[in-house]
Structure formats: C-alpha cells, structure tokens
Structure 1
Amino acid sequence: MTRISVGDASLTNILARQGADLRGQVQRAAQEVATGKHADIGKVMRGDVAPLLAVDASLARLAAYKTNTTDAAFQTAAQQSAIAGLSQLAAGITTTLMASRDFPTPAQVNATAADARGRLASVVGLINTQASGRAVFSGVATDTLPLSGAEDLLVALETAAAGSTTAGQVEAAVNGWFADPLGFGAFYQGDASLSAAPIAPGEAADLSTTAMDPAIRDTLAGFAMAALIDRGTLAGNAEERARLAQIAGQTLHRTEDARITLAARIGTVEAQIETARTRNAAEETSLGILRSDIGSADPYEAATRLENVRAQLESLYLVTARVSRLSLTEYLR
C-alpha cells in the first residue's frame, strides 16, 4: 500500500488556512450571540434579499413622512396659535370701537385709537410668528418675515389716505391699498404659498396659508384704520374720527367669521396630520418588528455553534503546537 504524506510547508499552510477559517467562524458566531442578528443576512436568505430591501425602503419612506409630519405639525400649530391671538386682540376692542360715535368726549376716541395702535403692533408680531426659526405665514420664503413693522405699515397707509377728509374716504383708501398688488401685495415680504406636504402614501397636508389670506389681511385693515386716528388722521374733525373708529370696529366684527373659518381650516389640517402621524408610527412599528425577525438569529443555535467552533479551533491549536515541535530527535523517539 502506497502512503501519501504532506510536506511540512504544505501542512503549515493547511493549518494556517483552517485556523483563519475557524477564527472567522468564531467571530461571526460570537457577533450573532452578542447582537441576536445574523452576521450574513444574504446567506441566510439564500441570496434573495428582495423582501428585506422592500422592508428597508418602506422604513426609509416612513422616516421621510415622519420628518414632514413633524414640520407640518409645527407649522399648523404656530399658525393656529397666531390666528387665536388675532381673534383675542380683536375681541378686546371691537365693541369699544363700534361704540365710538356714542363717546361723550373726543378724548375717549383718542384713547381707544391709541389702544388700537398698540394692538396693531401685536397683530404684526403674531403674523411674523416663527416656528423652529421658520416664518409660518411667509409661504416658501420661510427665512423671511412676512411683514415689516407696524409703523412702516401705518406710514404706507398714511400716504395712501393723504388728502382724505372723511372717514369714508379713509376707509376706501385703506381697503384699496390692502387690495392693491402694489400696495399690501408689495408690502408683503413673503412668497408664494407652500406646496402641500406629503405626510402619508397618497396624502398631503395643505400648508398654503400666508399673510395674504383675506382673513388676515382684512383684520390688519381693521386695526390699521383705528391706529391711523392715533397718528393724526382726520385731525380737527372729531365727528369723522369717531366715525372712522366705528368703521374700524365694524371691519373687525365683520372679519370674525373669516378668522373662525381660517382657524377651522387649519384645525382640519392639524387633525389630518395627527391621524397620519399615528398611522405611520403604527406601520413603522410593525415593519420594525418584521425587519428584526428577518435578521434575527436563534441565540441557542448561535451559542451551540460558537462552542463547537471554539472546540475545533482549540483542537487545531493543539495539532499545530505538536507539529511545530517535531524534529528528527522527536521523530526517532
């Protein structure tokens, strides 16, 4: 019988390769025991990773929707708060303004006008509301406040109403300026409305409200007419000044329904966003569980494999140690 032997160099290479392979198996098994995840998903799925890629794509899409819903929720909440503030400011002075013609002295009209001027500054501040550093009523120009100061607004209106001698003329001039693209349209520093934001598959949130919305614009007009009195408009004509204050109050009263409608519209979008957010979160949780199941390793099987491979590696080390000690003297013994 012919005996085939392996040379020392060849044997050393064989043992080295086996050692490297076993060490790799130990490392992979130890990783699976520690993480509970397969070290080689592709091998486990026999190369068919399409289901895993589909789950990962869905999770990535949900992550994008999560960002959109968060941003949209901030936007609408800030808008809703600002609209509520406008209504509160209007409610605090509307009745007083409407009763201006019944005031016994011009001083009371003047005091009410001064109050309106202060409220106008607050109104402009609310319209310039920012959420997370973004102006919420500026449309796509989120880095720009929609309006400059209240005093700038009044200066522009004074120019538009120059030469007016009656409350009706001032009212017409103010309303004309707010309706004019070269008036309030040019004063508005924002841009076109934001596009609808995708918040779920086949669903988008309407974020189109800007400072150009009629409810906001007309509310500004009402406060501005009263504030102009405090800047000296129709000076010397107490009756027309009282009449202008009354018109301002009527304007604010007339815009109440528009503000309520606007708030309701934004509230509907808020509810839509919250519903989409809840639905997306539930889907994300389900997909996360599925993704975890696909990549999960059996901890008992991985631990058993780790011990077996360790035992093989230890045996290989013993063989390698004995081979490395071989010499002619040892062989002759």
Structure 2
Amino acid sequence: MDRFAVSSGLMTATLSKSISDLRQKMGTTSTEATTGRYQDLTLHMSGRIGKAMLGQKALTDLTTERDVLNLRASRLNLLQTSLTNLQDSSTGIAASMLDAIGTDHEVGVKTSARDAKAALDTIFSSLNVRYGERFLFSGDATASQPFPDPSVLMNDIEQMAQTSTDTADFQTQLDTYFESPTGGWFQNVFKGSPTASDPESISADHGAIKSLITNLAVLAASGPNGSLAKLDGYKDFVQTTSLKLTSSETGITDLRADLGVFEEQISTNLKNLETEETLLTEAFNQMTARDEYEAATELESLQTMLEASYLITARLSKLSLTNYLG
C-alpha cells in the first residue's frame, strides 16, 4: 500500500506539473491567436531576434515622428483658422468706409467705425488662441496671453486723437505708439514677444497683423463724433487709412500662404511615413507573425489535453482514497 501511495503521489505530482505547463501554454497561445504575433519573439526567432528588434524600433520611431508631425499640423491649423477669422472680420470695412467718407454719409461712417471696432474685438479674441498651454501668437513668450481687452488700445487711440494738433501729428504719435519699444503697443497692449524663433510660429507683432490692427483701430476711432473727426485733414486721413487696411488684408493672405508651405511639407511627410510604415510592418510581420488559424487549432488541442489531465487527476485521487480506505 505504501508503494502504491508513493507511485500514485509521483503520478499526481507529474500531472500537476503538466497541467501547470498546459495552462501556461494555453495562455500564450490564446494571446498569439488574438494578436497574430508570437509572444516570445526571442524563442521563436532565435538568432534573428536582433533584426526583429531593429524593425520594431523603426516602427516605434516612426509612430513618434508621426505624432510630432500631427502636433505641428494641429498648431498650424489653429493658426490658419485664426488668420482666416482676421480676414473675415475686416472684409468689406475698407470699401464701406471709403464709400461713406467719400460721399460725406455720416451714418455710413458711423456704421463703418462700429464695424471696425467689432472686428477688433473678434481679432483680439482670435489672436489669444492657444494650443494646450501655448499661446500661438505670443512669439517666444508662449506662456503669456498676447492681448488684453481691445478697449485698452481704443482708449489710447482716442487719447492720441485728443492731444494731436492735426492728422499729421496724430500719424506721428501713431507711429511712435506702435513702433517704439517704449510706445503704448508694447507697454499697454501686446504682452507677447516680437520674436518668434520657431519658423512655424507667429508673433502678433508681425507686420501684417500689426498693420491690420492699427488701421482697424484708426477706423474704429473715426466716427463723426470722435476726437479724430475734429482734426484738420480728417477726411483724407480716413481715406488713406482705408486703403492701408486693404493692403493689410493682402499681407494676411501672404502670411497664410507662408504657413501653407509648412502645411504642405507636413502633409507630404505624413504620406511618406504612411508608405514607410506599410513596408516596415509587412517586413516585421513576416518575421514575427503567428498564423491565427494555426494558433486557434493548437489552442483547441491544448484545451482537450488539459481536460484529459484534469480527468486523470480526479480518477487518481478517487483511486488513492479507495485504496487507503481498503
């Protein structure tokens, strides 16, 4: 009886080990049947594992590069959307102001001035756009919101009109305000950096943007009841400013075209990466792919073997108990 017990115990221990191995093998095979790839590449590929790992690293690097390109594309898209808002906001104001001031249509001038002020509100909001924590029109000062409320600018423009002797003096003050480092533009309004080290970024101090804002601000202050309307040369000055606004809009178009070059480059690079990924994936799959049908068949066979092992273990257990009782 002792000899039988020892033999039975050895058989049970052996079966337990086999069951453990079968369960582990089933887990591996189940994963391979699902993923279509060998789980233990080192075992499967033996001496070729280095080549496989290089292929896998190339695919990982490619994914990282694509993520960076998509990030750049998203930022450029936001920049383009904002610049489109700038153009749409100012469209038609120059023409309507030229028509109104040329015909001395006071209501038309007042309406155009109101439209210019509304456009400034939209433009300042659009230029305060950010991607994550990065303000896109702040130049290198990406953590700083570029603009306060546009009323700050309009108050300064009105103050200059009140203190000017004529439109020529007003223009001189205007130039100093926007161009001098100690002028109101840098001291009171624009809080970003005039420098944009990243060629795909834009500072709102860019000439085209600043010109658009300058001309809209002047037209917004050109209502018939404002201080600017009392200055000598007012009518000619408003007409000249309206023409400048048209040129500013062209400058925004050119700026958008410059960004479009970067967008096209990114689009081309993404297409090239897609082709490269297809080729690398195909090569990697040839080395590491696990036939899913074969894996499923093996899994079914392992399941049958596991069930049989459980059955034998149960019978041995009952037999051992019977012999012990006998």
One fold, TM greater than 0.5? Answer: yes
TM-superposed CA distance for 1:211, in Å, is: 0.7
Q: Does the 8 A contact of 1:100 with 1:242 survive in 2?
A: no
Question: Is residue 253 from structure 1 mapped to residue 255 from structure 2 by the alignment?
Answer: no
**Alignment partner, residue 186 of structure 2:** 185
Q: Does the 8 A contact of 1:160 with 1:173 survive in 2?
A: yes
Question: Is residue 93 from structure 1 mapped to residue 87 from structure 2 by the alignment?
Answer: no
Give the secondary-structure state (helix, strand or coil) at the position aligned to 1:75.
Answer: helix
Q: Does the 8 A contact of 1:37 with 1:297 survive in 2?
A: yes
Assess, with a 3 A threshold, how the Cα gap between structure 1 residues 114 and 321 changes in structure 2: closer, same or farther. Answer: closer
2:233 is aligned with what amino acid?
E
Alignment of 1:89-168 (within 5 A): 89-98=89-98, 102-104=102-104, 108-130=108-130, 135-142=135-142, 144-160=144-160, 163-168=163-168
TM-superposed CA distance for 1:162, in Å, is: 5.2
Within the candidate set 216, 220, 227, 1:233 is matched to 227
- Matches of 1:327 and 1:80 in 2, distance apart? 82
State the Cα deviation string for residues 169-204 of structure 1 (Å, max 9, x = none): 1122112211122332332123466654xxxxxxxx
2:192 is aligned with what amino acid?
G
**Alignment partner, residue 78 of structure 1:** 78
Question: Is residue 265 from structure 1 mapped to residue 267 from structure 2 by the alignment?
Answer: no
Give the secondary-structure state (helix, strand or coil) at the position aligned to 1:149.
Answer: coil
Assess, with a 3 A threshold, how the Cα gap between structure 1 residues 6 and 87 changes in structure 2: closer, same or farther. Answer: same
**Alignment partner, residue 42 of structure 2:** 42
- Matches of 2:166 and 2:114 in 1, distance apart? 20
**Alignment partner, residue 175 of structure 2:** 175
Question: Is residue 222 from structure 1 mapped to residue 215 from structure 2 by the alignment?
Answer: yes
TM-superposed CA distance for 1:59, in Å, is: 2.9
Assess, with a 3 A threshold, how the Cα gap between structure 1 residues 25 and 112 changes in structure 2: closer, same or farther. Answer: closer
**Alignment partner, residue 277 of structure 2:** 284
Within the candidate set 185, 202, 206, 1:209 is matched to 202
**Alignment partner, residue 28 of structure 2:** 28
- Matches of 1:39 and 1:265 in 2, distance apart? 48
State the Cα deviation string for residues 62-97 of structure 1 (Å, max 9, x = none): 333333333322322232233333334444122344
**Alignment partner, residue 200 of structure 1:** none
- Aligned identity (percent) is 25
Q: Which runs of 5+ in 1 are unaligned?
A: 197-205
Assess, with a 3 A threshold, how the Cα gap between structure 1 residues 15 and 256 changes in structure 2: closer, same or farther. Answer: closer
CA RMSD of aligned residues (A): 3.6
Q: Which runs of 5+ in 2 are unaligned?
A: none
Give the TM-score, by structure 2 length: 0.78
Q: Does the 8 A contact of 2:161 with 2:228 survive in 1?
A: no
Give the helix-richer structure, 1 or 2: 2
Give the secondary-structure state (helix, strand or coil) at the position aligned to 1:272.
Answer: helix
Greater CA drift, 7-16 or 213-222: 7-16
Assess, with a 3 A threshold, how the Cα gap between structure 1 residues 42 and 229 changes in structure 2: closer, same or farther. Answer: same
Greater CA drift, 181-190 or 227-236: 227-236
Query: How many residue pairs align between the two structures?
Result: 317
State the Cα deviation string for residues 97-127 of structure 1 (Å, max 9, x = none): 4456633465654443333333332332333
